[in-house]
Chains A and B, each alone.
Chain A
Amino acid sequence: MKRYLVRRAGQALVVLVLIACVNFLILNLAPGDVVDVLAGESGAGDIEYLQQLREQYGLDRPVYVQLGHYLLNLAQLNLGHSLRFQLPVRDLILMRLPATLLLMFSSLSLAFIGGIVFGVAAARSPGSMRDSFISTMALLAYSTPLFWAGLMLIILFSVKFGVLPSGGMRTIGGPDDLYGMVVDVGRHLILPSITLALFYMATYTRLMRASMLDIYNMDFVRTAKAKGLSPLKTAYRHVVPNSILPLISLFGVQLGSVLGGSVVVEVVFGWPGLGTLAFDALFQRDINLLMGILFMSSILVIIVNLVIDLLYSWLDPRIEVEA
């Protein structure tokens, strides 16, 4: 187990360094450098001054020295400075991260639970009306652009019925006692969570259904039926627990895509997380900040996948963990 952990962590580290190299490559392939951007902003055109700036930023040194420098900085989580916000990129990201994590957590829980419920409902009577209805709805959710689903929900629940807030995270001048605040944030969380959950609920539903149909063919399920267990008990005691495993590994694979999805959802709902930060960075051409967000998100994906790998081998001891 320990050796496995060390090996996985080593692999993760290699991937991390390579991701940093990809980032560096993009920055270098980008037309113009930081100094060009700065010069464009301040309107300064003095070539000698620009040269001096390049020396100051180390841009005149060979590429491999610059790369070493860049990696060293990243290792210390020094992601540079955001020109627009006048703050270190790391601090900006850490400030916005909790909101995004909250949104991701609530929508993934929703997707996970919903996926299991609908998947079980579909798989318990394959080929029935219920099954084809659920499968069609899942395919429909699969084909819906997240941001558009969000806008439609706003029209329905905020504009037409007026029951839920259409954006933001808290009511301005809202309650400031703890209970009131939690309820307020919770109300703001509902629509973005549902929006982000739709797509993933569809994938979990489909996977849960397929996985359950697989398990139904297994010997131990036949034994359970043969000893006279009711279909309901067979399903919940023996089939469902064994069908959930693949969902957990999908969770890790999808995390990156959820982070991407949260960008558009946050922009639609004005949710003050990493996504809106990325959007602002985009519009103010703050490439440094954008790259920082990309890098930190990649780290998040790596860590969560590592945790899921360990969780998986703990949940299903059949999986070999020896190196």
Chain B
Amino acid sequence: MIERESLIRRYCHSTTGVIGLVILAFVVVMAAFGPIIYPVDPWAMVARPLQWPLIDTDAPLGSDILGRDVLSGLVNGARVSLIIGVSATAAAVAIGVTIGALSGYFRGIMDDILMRLTEVFQTIPNFLFVIVLVAVFSPSVFTISAAIAVVSWPPVARLVRGQFLTLRQRAFVESCVVVGMSTPRIIFTQILPNCIAPVIVTSSIMVATAILIEAGLSFLGLGDPNMMSWGAMIGFGRQSLRTAWYLTLIPGVAIQLTVLSISFVGEALNDALNPRLG
């Protein structure tokens, strides 16, 4: 018998996966402890306005048009991005798994209704829908996460439905039905664990997308007004694009690196969880 490599070892086959994980870990640490290690208020005037990076020790990464510290904005923005990325994805996965499981397990009329509903949410242009939702319910971390969740669950629902449709007919599930196992127990202990791997891979991509959507929202001025975020920094920096382009460049690179690292992790997870494809 060939011994299967552990998940971690399989993951480490991917160089980009390891790089992604390192960058992501750095961002997570920055989000968690950054504001404690570097306790500068991102809204406070701490330096001369429009100070270029690496010149003034008051603002190591420069200051914006109001003299606010770019580094502090970066550190605090990591928090917003990650909180919204993770919570929106968690909510979307919860909705998607529920709907997909119900329609894949029960089929028939339930499937018809739920799939029409999925189609509706897939048809409405995502980003516009988020804008409308956030504008109507006024922006906060909660409404932004909820709005992103509302638009991003359909792919999960379709994925889980497909898995349920095939797994439902497998012998091990039918034998559970025969021995009289209750429906919820079959769903939760038999089928669900078997379709968790593709859901994990999809959700890693969803975190990345959610971070990009949040950045777009706060760039348009629809971010949580009490939180400094990367997108908002780009929005502020845009006003002085011609003279102080570092204000736009730095937070943009932060978004790009974070999203890229999550994509790397997602790809490596995909390869590690589906070793047949390797």
Contacts and interface: CB of A to CB of B under 8 A. Distances in A.
Partners in one complex: yes
Interface stretch (B38-46, B100-108, B121-129, B172-180): B121-129
A144 B136 CA distance: 28
Interface stretch (A177-185, A189-197, A294-302): A294-302
Given A148-B248, A152-B248, A279-B220, A256 B256 contact: no
Contacts of B133: 26
A30 B216 contact: no
A71 interface: no
A293 B116 contact: no
A120 B187 CA distance: 43
A148 B255 contact: yes
Main secondary structure of the interface of B (DSSP, over half): helix
A142 B249 CA distance: 17
Given A18-B120, A140-B260, A143-B208, A155 B245 contact: yes
Interface string A12-41: 001100110010001101110000000000
A145 interface: yes
Given A145-B215, A278-B131, A290-B135, A151 B241 contact: yes
Given A159-B245, A256-B123, A301-B125, A282 B260 contact: no
Nearest to B231: A145
B238 interface: yes
A260 B256 contact: no
Contact of B128 (A144, A260, A285): A260
Interface residues of B, number: 45
Contact of A290 (B124, B127, B131, B264): B131
Nearest to B222: A282
Interface string B234-271: 10001001100100110010011101101110000000
Interface string A255-293: 111011101100110000000001100110101001101
Given A15-B116, A151-B234, A260 B127 contact: yes
B56 interface: no
Contacts of A140: 256, 260
Contact of A293 (B128, B137, B231): B128
A287 B222 contact: no
Contacts of A15: 116, 119-120, 123
B181 interface: no
B123 A30 contact: no
Given A145-B256, A259-B125, A294-B124, A151 B135 contact: no
Contacts of B263: 139, 142-143
B132 interface: yes
Interface string B214-235: 0110011110000000010010
B116 A18 contact: yes
Nearest to B134: A282
Given A139-B263, A278-B131, A145 B123 contact: no
Given A143-B259, A264-B216, A282-B220, A294 B128 contact: yes
Contact of A256 (B124, B137, B221, B248): B124
B219 A147 contact: yes
Contacts of B222: 282
Given A151-B252, A155-B245, A294 B132 contact: yes
B29 interface: no
B261 to A, nearest CB: 8
A163 to B, nearest CB: 15
B241 A159 contact: yes
B212 A145 contact: yes
Nearest to B129: A294
Nearest to A295: B124
A207 interface: no
A22 B227 CA distance: 30
A130 B77 CA distance: 36
Contact of A159 (B127, B242, B249): B242
A19 B220 CA distance: 25
A143 B81 CA distance: 14
B234 A148 contact: yes
Given A146-B216, A287-B136, A290-B132, A22 B124 contact: yes
Interface string B126-151: 11111111011110000000000000
B20 to A, nearest CB: 10
A159 B242 CA distance: 6
Nearest to A281: B135
A30 B125 CA distance: 20
Nearest to A160: B245
B257 to A, nearest CB: 8
A239 interface: no
B184 to A, nearest CB: 29
B104 to A, nearest CB: 20
B196 interface: no
Contacts of B116: 11, 14-15, 18
Q: Give 5 nearest A-B pairs by CB, closest first.
A: A260-B127, A143-B259, A148-B252, A256-B125, A143-B260
5 contacts: A30-B136, A31-B137, A143-B263, A256-B126, A259-B128
Interface of B: 116-117, 119-120, 122-133, 135-138, 208, 212, 215-216, 219-222, 231, 234, 238, 241-242, 245, 248-249, 252, 255-257, 259-260, 262-264
